[in-house]
Amino acid sequence: MGASARLLRAVIMGAPGSGKGTVSSRITKHFELKHLSSGDLLRDNMLRGTGFPRTLPQAEALDRAYQIDTVINLNVPFEVIKQRLTARWIHPASGRVYNIEFNPPKTVGIDDLTGEPLTQREDDKPETVIKRLKAYEDQTKPVLEYYQKKGVLETFSGTETNKIWPYVYAFLQTKVPQTSQKASVTP
């Protein structure tokens, strides 16, 4: 079997809102790799949910089954993620969605068309977001330490996916044989 037939088994880790989905889809596009999200990988398994593996036993089980080559850890500051995840506001009657960063209402907290107040989903409220981020951190700390010890952890830090991506791309180019001319074009 030639080198091109070799599979790269990579895990992408990062808190909710850290850009895992975006990075995964870019990897798939640039390297013609199959994007196996934890849901696909473990569809018939109890361990599904984003950011798998989330616990040490899960990481060990995954390793036994698949022998992970590399773990890409997206390290985005909590404050940035919090802003990202709490930016969504909704007009309940119409279902109109506003994003403070990308398409804010003309007046803060007020629907453009009706002048009625906007609300936040429970999931988007700062207290909920902070709780989720803390839970993620507590749960995955041992997982990251486990991969660090195995020597497969690569951490990429930044505040924007577009700024982190070129580093992830360059790193993966050293790991994955290019499958086509197209893939060698800069991102």
| CATH of the domain spanning 10-174 | 3.40.50.300
Instruction: Identify whether the C-beta of residue 81 lies closer than 8 Å to the C-beta of residue 159.
Output: no
Q: Which two tokens stand for residue 85?
A: 């995840």
**Calpha distance 115→79 (Å, rounded):** 30
**Residue ranges in the chain modelled with pLDDT below 70:** 1-7, 32-52, 177-187
Look up residue 122 and give its two tokens. 């429970």
Structure token pair of residue 87: 């930016």
Structure confidence at residue 50 (pLDDT): 45
Residues in a beta bridge with 38: none
Cβ atoms of residues 9 and 72 within 8 Å = no
CA distances in angstroms from 8 to 5, 43, 66, 102, 143, listed in the order given: 10, 20, 10, 35, 20
The tokens of 22 are what? 């975006």
pLDDT in tens, 57-78: 888 888 888 778 889 999 999 9
Residue 34: what pLDDT? 56
- Identify the pLDDT of residue 135: 93
Give Cα 74 to chain centroid, integer Å. Answer: 7
Residue pair 161/19 in contact by the 8 Å Cβ criterion: yes
**Which residues are CB-neighbours of 144 under 8 A, at least 6 positions away?**
13, 71, 73, 153
For 156-180, what is each residue's pLDDT tens digit?
A: 999 999 999 999 999 988 887 655 4
Q: Which amino acid, 83?
A: Q
Q: Which two tokens stand for residue 78?
A: 């909590």
Q: What is the pTM of this model?
A: 0.76
Give the CA angle between residues 12, 13, 17 to the nearest 5°. Answer: 110
